Amino acid sequence: MQRKSSLRRLVPVGALLLLASLSASGQPRQSAALTQRRINELAAALLRVHRLLIDAPGIRRSDEKLSDYLNRLVMPLPGEKPALYRQRMEGYVSALRSATQETEGARRMPTLRNDDAENRKRWTHITRNLAYLPGRLAHVRSAWKAMEGGRPGTLGAEWCETLLLLRDTQNALRDARP
């Protein structure tokens, strides 16, 4: 019964994977004028990855630490066929790749309309975090390839570090002003 429940929870994951692949054009976004809408788009790109890994599977236990959950999530779920497992893992990596591409233009300090010290400090933090995303993507890909090749890997830990970076950046974007 537990196996069927886990597999039923993966159906929404497949839908989100499809949505994530359709939402990104595959091309880096051009640096757009900084507006509140653009800030919201940056936050939404990061939130899609968070939702795909945390909310969509629906298998996180209420008392489970993030690191424990991610270590469990990166392993095949009970009853999960190898092809579905591979598709799920590649979908997670694809979502991170899309977020990395969508936020590319925000890795440099934008021209701020609100140039007070607090907002400038916040944007310095945001741009620094976003500059780490391509490296985080490379680490996640490398850990996935290691697991795929049958070598013990650190995929859960890499995802944990990546999600903490995304969450920190989302929180900073929440208070950022154009």
Q: What is the DSSP letter of 26?
A: S
> For position 1, what pLDDT does the model report?
54
Tell me the per-residue pLDDT of 9-44, one tens digit each, with 9 for 90 and over: 554 554 444 444 444 444 444 344 689 999 999 999
- Within 8 A by CB and 6+ apart from 35, the residues are 178
Helices 155-175 and 36-50: crossing angle in degrees, nearest 10, is 160
Please tell me the pTM assigned to this model: 0.79
Instruction: Compute the distance between CA of residue 21 and CA of residue 16 in angstroms, rounded to an integer.
Output: 9
Domain locations in the chain? 2-19+32-175
Instruction: Compute the distance between CA of residue 47 and CA of residue 170 in angstroms, rounded to an integer.
Output: 7
Name the least confident of 125-134, 140-149, 163-172. Answer: 140-149
- Mean pLDDT value of segment 109-129: 95
Alpha-helix residue ranges (DSSP H) falling in 63-116: 66-73, 82-102
Tell me the per-residue pLDDT of 39-96, one tens digit each, with 9 for 90 and over: 999 999 999 999 999 987 788 888 999 999 999 999 998 999 999 999 999 999 999 9
Instruction: Compute the distance between CA of residue 93 and CA of residue 137 in angstroms, rounded to an integer.
Output: 7
